[in-house]
Amino acid sequence: MKKPVARFHLVLLLVNLAGGASMEAQLPADSHVDFSPLSENGFMRIAIADPGNHTWNLQVSHDLIFWYEFETITVHNGRFAKKLHVLENAPRSFYRLNFDHVLQTGESSLNQALALPPTPDNYALPSLPAHFLTPQVLAQDNTPTHNPVTDHGATLGRVLFYDKRLSANNTISCASCHQQEHGFSDPRQFSIGFQGEETDRNSMGLTNAKYYERGHFFWDERSQTLEEQVLEPIQNEVEMGLTLDELVTKVSAERYYAELFTSSFGDAVVTSERISLALAQFIRSIISTESKFDLGRSSNFSNFTPQENQGRRIFNGQGRCDDCHGTENFVSENVFNNGLENPYTDPGVGAITRRQQDRGKFKTPSLRNIALTGPYMHDGRFKTLEEVVEFYDSQVVSHPNLAPQLRNNNRPIRLNLSEAEKRALVAFLNTLTDPNLTTDPKYSDPFNYGE
Indicate the pTM of the whole model. 0.93
* CATH number reported for the structural domain that contains residue 63 in this entry: 2.60.40.1920
- Does one domain contain both 164 and 245? yes
Average pLDDT over residues 1-7: 43
Q: Is the dihedral of CA 197, 202, 205, 210 positive or negative?
A: negative
In a domain, 159, yes or no: yes
pLDDT at 105: 63
Residue 11 lies in a domain: no
Could you read off the pLDDT of 41-91 as tens digits, one per residue? 667 889 999 999 999 989 888 888 888 898 889 999 999 999 887 676 667
pLDDT over 50 (residue 200): yes
CB 233 within 8 A of CB 149: no
The answer, yes or no, to whether residue 2 has pLDDT greater than 50, is no
Q: Does residue 312 lie within any of the structural domains?
A: yes
310 and 243 together in one domain: no
Q: Which of 64, 81, 105 is the last residue of a domain?
A: 105
- Are residues 205 and 371 in contact, defined by beta-carbon separation less than 8 angstroms? no
Q: Return all residues near 17 (Cβ < 8 A) that are at least 6 apart.
A: 57, 98, 99, 100, 102
Could you tell me the CATH number of the domain that includes residue 231? 1.10.760.10
* Ramachandran angles phi, psi of 240, nearest 5°: -130, -25
Residue 300: count other Cβ atoms within 10 Å of its Cβ. Answer: 9
Same domain, residue pair 272 and 300: no
Rounded to whole angstroms, the Cα distance separating 159 from 162 reads: 5
The answer to whether residues 274 and 302 belong to one domain is no
Is residue 279 domain-shared with residue 309, that is, in the same domain?
Answer: no
Does residue 142 fall inside a structural domain? yes
Lowest mean pLDDT among 99-113, 118-132, 157-171: 99-113
Which domain does 353 fall in, by range?
A: 292-430
At residue 30, what are phi and psi to the nearest 5 degrees?
A: 65, 10
Q: What is the pLDDT of residue 39?
A: 73
Q: How many CB atoms lie within 10 A of CB 415?
A: 18
- Residues 252, 116, single domain; the answer is yes
- For residues 139 and 283, membership in a common domain is answered with yes
> Domain tally for the chain?
3
Measured CA distances, 8 to 4, 12, 37, 40, 60 (Å)? 12, 13, 10, 11, 12
Tens of pLDDT, residues 17-49:
433 333 344 678 888 888 887 776 667 889 999
Same domain, 133 and 75: no
Domain-located, residue 23: no
Question: Pick from 338, 442, 440: which is nearest to 395 by CA?
Answer: 338
User: pLDDT at residue 161 above 50?
Assistant: yes
Domain final position from 222, 252, 287: 287
Q: Read out DSSP for 175-193? A: HHHSBGGGTSB-SSSS-B-
- Secondary structure (DSSP) of 43-106: EEEEEEEETT--EEEEEEESSSSS-EEEEEEE-SSEEEEEEEEPPTT-S--EEEEEE-GGG---
pLDDT band at 370 (very low <50, low <70, confident <90, very high): very high
d(CA 136, CA 150): 24
Q: pLDDT category, 4, cuts 50, 70, 90?
A: very low
The answer to the question of residue 442 being in a domain is: no
190 and 236 belong to one structural domain: yes
Domain boundary residue, one of 271, 287, 303: 287
Give the pLDDT confidence score for residue 11 in this predicted structure.
47
Let me know if residue 298 belongs to a domain: yes
What's the confidence (pLDDT) of residue 42? 64
CB count within 10 Å of CB 411 equals 11
Same domain, 83 and 161: no
Inside any domain, residue 370: yes
Say if residue 207's pLDDT is above 70: yes
Asked whether residue 415 falls in the same domain as residue 348, the answer is yes
Percent above pLDDT 70 for the chain:
92
- When pLDDT is averaged across residues 228-241 and rounded to a whole number, the result is 98
C-alpha pair distances (Å), 338 with each of 210, 273, 351: 24, 35, 16
Same domain, 298 and 180: no
Backbone angles phi, psi at 265, to 5 degrees: -125, 0
* Tens-place pLDDT, residues 303-312: 999 999 999 9
Residue with the larger pLDDT of the pair 38 and 237: 237
